[in-house]
Amino acid sequence: MQIMQRCKMLKNILKIGFGLVLCIALKANAFSEDNDLMISSDAFSRGDFATAKDGYLKLYKETDNINYAKEAAVSAANMGDFQTALKFALLYQKITKDTKDLPTNKILADSYIRMGEIKKATSLLEAIKKQEDSLIVDNVLGTLYLSQKEFDKAFSLLDKFYNATHNEEALEKIVTIYLAKNDKVGGLNFLKSHLRKYGCSEELCQKSLNTFVQFNDLKDAEEVFKEIYQKSPTVQNGRYYIWILASQKKYKQAQEIAETFPLNGHLLLDLYIVQKEFSLAAKQAGLIYQQQKDPKYLALEAVYLYEAMETPNKETIKKIVQKLEYAIKERKKEISNNKENLNDQDAFFYNFLGYMLIDYSIDIKKGIDYVKVALEIDPGSISYVDSLAWGYYKLGKCAEAKKIFSTIPKEEMETESELESHFQIINACKQ
């Protein structure tokens, strides 16, 4: 009897122990999920979307809770991992049958835009707009309407977005709509109004100038940029105002503006270039180089010295070549120190130097090497292709010269007299 009682007691103890272990295990698992959720949520709030995405994916894998897949999709979208975002957004909608879910629909709309499926994106964004009437949605949907030439719909949304933000990209899109509807006056007036009230970034100022030139509206452009300059007399605003004045040959007014910036010679340099006063431009570029030690201005000095020559002679050309070679050498040091890459302006200087070495037969092989560097930077430049072909012609390698020159479209040769001249000479070469 005592043995039976002891056995029952032992069984009860074992049951209690097993239950306690099971309870502890369950609590441990629950704590692990809560902890991972807290870490992922905190990462998302801090903008660490990669950690958030990985955390939510782990939670989804361990729990099969589809809401974690949705959070992973949102995190992936925020970090630019659009493939993962689309995958889990589609999965969420497939499992939940919730095709009206806002976060995943935004991901799908973005994916459709990236894939060029504009009509699908437009339809989805129209549905999103009914749920969330936000300026961001207005901007994106308005842009999609514009791409489909639905100008009235596009204008309504983009105008709303612009009035709230005065965004320059929205401004450009609205001006595009005016011009597409053949309302040149409306487009230019809209542009002028913005410039007068808010000024312009460097990019918008340049685009605006191009627009005014295109529509032969320099008189109004002068008034607008005069106002911009008077409100904010910076070097950049002064440069645009000077350019417009010089374009109308109002050189005295332009010079008066330039001389208000005695410590900044760039404005005078621009003015001399517009007037094609290359001797003065060379001198000004040299002064800027002495002040700033920027090799670009030493190279420009050399270029303008060449442009100023009425009758080039080999001795003067050699001096210009030496100046350019020194400028390029100094520029190489600058690139190395600043860990930069050669840019389009560098390509221009390399080609200019190379062509002089070739054309004046100073050192044709070295000239070809310089031109090749220019072509590495800008392989699509017809001028640089012409220089290379001319170099091989000067070496007597006619077949190579013809092969290189044949890559230049015929219509380009018709518009450039020097290209046409080189073509005739190279084509007649029989060496």
pTM of the full structure: 0.61
- Residue numbers of the chain with a pLDDT score lower than 70: 1-31, 262-263, 431
* pLDDT for res 254: 87
Could you tell me the residue ranges of all domains in the chain?
A: 30-132, 341-431
> Which tokens is 414 given?
């018709």
Could you write out the DSSP letters of every residue in 282-329? HHHHHHHHHHH--HHHHHHHHHHHHHH-SS--HHHHHHHHHHHHHHHH
How many other CB atoms are found less than 10 A from the CB of residue 222? 18
* pLDDT for res 10: 36
Contacts of 402 (CB under 8 A, 6+ apart): 389, 426, 427, 429
* pLDDT for res 263: 59
Could you write out the DSSP letters of every residue in 200-248? --HHHHHHHHHHHHHTT-HHHHHHHHHHHHHHS--HHHHHHHHHHHHHT
* pLDDT for res 239: 86
Q: Which H or E run includes 277?
A: none
How many other CB atoms are found less than 10 A from the CB of residue 305? 22
As a whole number of angstroms, the distance between CA 349 and CA 4 comes to: 104
How crowded is the C-beta side of 388, counted as CA atoms within 13 Å? 26
**Which fold does the domain 341-431 belong to in CATH?**
1.25.40
Of the options 1.25.40.10, 3.40.50.300, 1.10.3720.10, 2.40.30.10, the CATH number for the domain spanning 30-132: 1.25.40.10
* pLDDT for res 412: 83
Angle (CA) 391-394-395 rounded to 5° is 90
Cα torsion angle, 307, 309, 312, 314, sign: negative
